[in-house]
Structure 1
Amino acid sequence: MKVLVTGATGLIGRQVVQQLREAGFEVRIASRHPEPASDAVLLPAPDAPAAAFTAITQDVRHVVHCAALNNDRDASEADYLSANADLTGRLARAAAVQAGGRFVYLSSIRAVAGPGFSGTIDEKTPPAPQCAYGRSKREGEIRTLDAYASRPSDTTALRLPPVYGEGMKGNLATLMRLGGMPVNLPLPAALFSGMRSLMSCEAAARTVVYLLSRPQPLRPVYVACDLPPLPISAVLGAFRQGFGLSLRLSAVPAGPIRAAATLLGKGKAWDAMTATQICDPSLLVAEGWVPQTDTLERLAELARRHRSGTAQPR
């Protein structure tokens, strides 16, 4: 049984490919920039001829769409929509005709809530994206579901929290860099008071394999994460532990720090750092999926490998 995986060289995509092959699936890899010596095929551009999407989905049973534009400060709203919505819609339409199996679209909780949102996120949370990336991922969800309107149980949008692993970007990469700073000055505990749901790239890939393999029909949306949610201070502490450093926190009141951040134009950054965003994967759990529960140990090991230079090349 052949599975098309887009974005196969990315943080999650490469794990999806590995775990699918270990599960006995044949994999077709698609990339926007395939290397000459690789077995990857070219992922069509959003404005490519229809024949290109027909060709890439021919003779495959399932499609896992991991390719996305993210963490690009130079990208415009139009760039995000082109990469994450236009391309997704065209690929989904071709797959709905060509592939008789399932289409798993890797989405994000940013399709539902912005970084400053505090609360619990599940499948029933009303979508209210607050950034170009989030809006484009939500539009990608809509276009995928539209493409599979005649067979809705064959597709799903898998909404993920921040994903960690070798090669990660964004706020988690920044937090790990902070954890590796060889200074041991007390850091204000109030700055790291928020709670977060996270997910390892391995667990995200395992969830994809689970969704392709389970006999029950798919729901339109699933929310997945590791359990339990963690204080940001604990995440930073795990990184510090992996780097062989200790974490010292000071009890500076939140008010003065929040006021200073606002004066410096960093109010939104403060809100994002201190927000509590908890994902609820109860639907997946009720259907037989098992969450990963060793997040702190994995974060410490990630930092340990980075420190020793044994992280696997991408």
Structure 2
Amino acid sequence: MSHVVVSGANGFVGRALCRALLGAGHRVTGLVRRSGGCVDGVTEWVDASTDYHGIARNWPANMKADCVVHLAARVHVIHDTAADPETAFRATNVDGTLRLAATARRHGVPRFVFVSSIKAVAEQSRGQSLCENDSPRPEDAYGRSKRAAEDALIRMGDDTGLEVVIVRPPLVYGPHVRANFLRLMDAVWRGVPLPLGGADARRSMVYVGNLADALVHCATDARAARQCFHVADSDAPTVAELVRSLGRHLGKPVRLLPVPAAWLRMAARLTGQSSRVDRLLGSLQVDTSHIRDVLGWHPPFSTDEGLAATADWYRSTH
């Protein structure tokens, strides 16, 4: 049995990971900024300091852990209100991450699993699935901050012996999902006509239960040390296929309009939404062969099972 510290333990992915760790027999401490929201069985540790400035003095006395899984982050938002997004993302996702990792290492924690993002590599796969060693081309402040944190952690690992494991998921969905995926479900539920019938580019995603399972392996399997893994579902549906699947599981008729992608991109340019529409219509396929080869990991849930669970949750709230 391992003792795993999970930052962001009361969040969307954090709660799923904690359940998976507890189910596998591990002991879990949840590092959170505010009390409450952790699943039963998790020992809560509150550190309210901004960007972990107080983490060194707040480390619980005599706490020994085998691994820290770092989920907490300043997340990507469509309309960022920060005066300087680059600085804001770096303060949390780079500087805060390094404070936590350095403190963990000083307290004898041997492994640090950093949950990064596929955005640290690219926004689109452009005809070939994204691999772990592809040249990085992050396109926004969030992606650049995640990539900078990865690079800094690798250097820290080389200098201190900390076993850094980097995990790059694409879009994560599942019960309690928020942001764009929830808005898409809202539109399907209300029967809103969607001009996505011609959206035939494939998009890798990862069900939260699959990501949690992969993170358990990364936290506890000796073979994961000093590795970088892309984690995704086995399937990469088109946007149109995704919408149809959601409609089927929600029990709602889907109204997909066959608008050519070129027309959508033209409209996006006129309305200043080009980057958003490009992400929606562009291909983003992720190669997960490395984690299969190194850890023997395969997603325990199919995409259809993940979408069904997500739709069941959604229906229960409406």
Q: If the length of structure 2 is used for normalisation, what is the TM-score?
A: 0.87
Q: CA RMSD for the aligned pairs?
A: 2.6
What aligned pairs does 1:87-98 form with structure 2 within 5 A after superposition?
87-98=96-107
Q: Which amino acid aligns with 1:103?
A: F
Deviation at 1:125, TM superposition (A): 1.3
Taking every aligned residue pair, what percent have the same amino acid on both sides?
28
Q: Which amino acid aligns with 1:180?
A: W
Q: Distance in 2 between matches of 1:39 and 1:213?
A: 19
Q: Report the counterpart of residue 31 of structure 1 in structure 2.
A: 32
Mapped contact 1:58–1:99 kept (Cα < 8 A): no
Q: Which amino acid aligns with 2:46?
A: L
Equivalent residue of 1:216, what SS?
Answer: helix
Deviation at 1:59, TM superposition (A): 1.4
Q: Which amino acid aligns with 2:69?
A: V
Equivalent residue of 1:148, what SS?
Answer: helix
Q: Report the counterpart of residue 19 of structure 2 in structure 1.
A: 18
Deviation at 1:167, TM superposition (A): 2.4
Deviation at 1:50, TM superposition (A): 6.3
Deviation at 1:273, TM superposition (A): 1.1
Q: Report the counterpart of residue 153 of structure 2 in structure 1.
A: 144
Unaligned runs of 5+ in 2: none
Unaligned runs of 5+ in 1: none
Equivalent residue of 1:74, what SS?
Answer: coil
Mapped contact 1:80–1:133 kept (Cα < 8 A): yes
Map Cα deviations across residues 218-242 of structure 1 (whole Å, 9 max, x no partner): 2431111111211111111121122
Partner residue of 1:199 out of 192, 200, 206: 206
Q: 1:56 to 1:33 in 2, by over 3 A?
A: farther
Q: Which amino acid aligns with 2:209?
A: E
Q: Report the counterpart of residue 134 of structure 2 in structure 1.
A: 125
Q: Report the counterpart of residue 240 of structure 2 in structure 1.
A: 233
Deviation at 1:156, TM superposition (A): 0.9
Q: Report the counterpart of residue 65 of structure 1 in structure 2.
A: 70
1:81 aligns with 2:86: no
Q: Distance in 1 between matches of 2:261 and 2:216?
A: 43
Map Cα deviations across residues 246-271 of structure 1 (whole Å, 9 max, x no partner): 22434333333332222222222221
Map Cα deviations across residues 275-301 of structure 1 (whole Å, 9 max, x no partner): 000000101111211124511232133
Mapped contact 1:145–1:152 kept (Cα < 8 A): no
Map Cα deviations across residues 119-176 of structure 1 (whole Å, 9 max, x no partner): 4211111111111111111122122222211466721110001000122233322222
Q: 1:117 to 1:58 in 2, by over 3 A?
A: farther
What aligned pairs does 1:258-269 form with structure 2 within 5 A after superposition?
258-269=265-276
Q: Distance in 1 between matches of 2:269 and 2:262?
A: 11
Q: 1:114 to 1:28 in 2, by over 3 A?
A: same
Equivalent residue of 2:116, what SS?
Answer: strand
Q: 1:77 to 1:116 in 2, by over 3 A?
A: farther
User: What count of residue pairs does the alignment treat as equivalent?
Assistant: 308
Q: Report the counterpart of residue 176 of structure 2 in structure 1.
A: 167
Q: If the length of structure 1 is used for normalisation, what is the TM-score?
A: 0.88
Q: Distance in 1 between matches of 2:136 and 2:32?
A: 29
Deviates more, 1:217-226 or 1:53-62: 53-62
1:247 aligns with 2:254: yes
Q: Report the counterpart of residue 312 of structure 2 in structure 1.
A: 304
